[in-house]
Structure 1
């Protein structure tokens, strides 16, 4: 690949999935990055250590990590270690609340993992050239939520059951904090299958079909602040 701009080195990749790590490595290699230029971490704790001992110039961050949320990682290092470093979130999460939180705490780009290699290459190139990148699908979601208050403040169905169990309320709070079902299971020391069942029950009681709608419905009826 003919590069007309300097590469930002070293580069941190916070990603726990080996398959995605390999995919990212091959894409970065096409830019001209060498093995020693890329610092991989599968956990937030190790990524923080990398940032403390290296002057990282660019970061690619997943949100679902074994020891927490990539959003918390970005927030924890943004002011202390990496105040001006471009940070691109590369995640499967596409809910408005999670996207907003990531951008709010300091992410300068947000791209979905489902995009093909060509789109990821374009996104990384944009970031390396000093730009910010928001996946078009995500941009539409943000604009829709910003420009249509009715989408965020819908009338609560009269059949909504507000009598959630204590466990369901705990899980709902975790959902509102952007945790995946796997992360909720770890947080509450229960299986992912059990979390899946509780989330389904929450949807049924709140008469919704998505996490975003569950969060907004819960806020409207006072289950969440």
Structure 2
């Protein structure tokens, strides 16, 4: 069985130790590195290239949003899952706009951590309802008005890439897009990486916002 390679960034030593212990109880997960400092975390993550990072927002050096931005610029294929509290809604919102794939509340149970990681690795987004509502409202606010010019494909996407983008804008996960389009999830991820490169973005959130702004896709 191929194990998902995880990197954990948490500045509280005991919580970091507990997280590593929890992750170690799942045979499908492998912790390949840890860090307690934002700046060092960026360098370690870029070097180790884990599949997913569990990232605290409050860190010495660089905070979690800055870490997310820097990692997604240098290693866009790495998924980032934020660890935070309910009080950090605005910061979480900003982190997801920067390229994170969602967030978990600190001190959640082991199974919740496991299912959150699985959801992200399948192309989903882990969001509490209040954050999901913010994104829905935000997407609606940036959507081009029907009377505006609607460029068909300003980024030179292939027909298949454009179709993937349209489904992502509808809120489908990578796995769901694969089912609808009859392709493997990793093929969907490959299409998304090409879409990001052509559009000059680092995440599906950025891609959807850009497409909505010019009226290329609808919600």
Alpha-carbon deviation of 1:101? 0.6
Alpha-carbon deviation of 1:97? 2.2
Alpha-carbon deviation of 1:60? 0.7
Match of residue 119, structure 1, among 83, 87, 112: 112
RMSD: 2.8
CA distance in structure 2 between the aligned counterparts of 1:52 and 1:120, rounded to whole angstroms: 23
Alpha-carbon deviation of 1:83? 0.6
Alpha-carbon deviation of 1:148? 11
Alpha-carbon deviation of 1:116? 2.8
What CA deviation, in whole Å up to 9, does each residue of 1:69-117 have, x standing for no partner?
110011012122x212111001125344212210110001211114333
> Is 2:81 the partner of 1:88?
yes
In structure 2, the gaps of 5 or more residues are 142-219
Match of residue 47, structure 1, among 41, 47, 55: 41
What CA deviation, in whole Å up to 9, does each residue of 1:139-173 have, x standing for no partner?
35x26865999xxxxxxxxxxxxxxxxxxxxxxxx
Structure 1 moving runs of 4+ over 6 Å: none
Alpha-carbon deviation of 1:131? 2.5
> Is 2:99 the partner of 1:106?
yes
Aligned residues: 141
Query: 1:13 corresponds to which residue?
Result: 8
Query: 1:62 corresponds to which residue?
Result: 56
In structure 1, the gaps of 5 or more residues are 150-225
- TM-score (normalised: structure 2): 0.55
Task: Report the secondary structure of 2:50's partner residue.
Answer: coil
Task: Report the secondary structure of 1:108's partner residue.
Answer: coil
Q: Which has the larger radius of gyration?
A: 1
Is the contact between residue 87 and residue 107 of structure 1 (CA under 8 Å) also seen in structure 2? yes
> Is 2:21 the partner of 1:26?
yes
1:1-225 maps to which residues of 2 (within 5 A)?
Answer: 6-9=2-5, 11-32=6-27, 37-80=31-74, 82-92=75-85, 94-136=87-129, 138-140=131-133, 142=134, 146=138
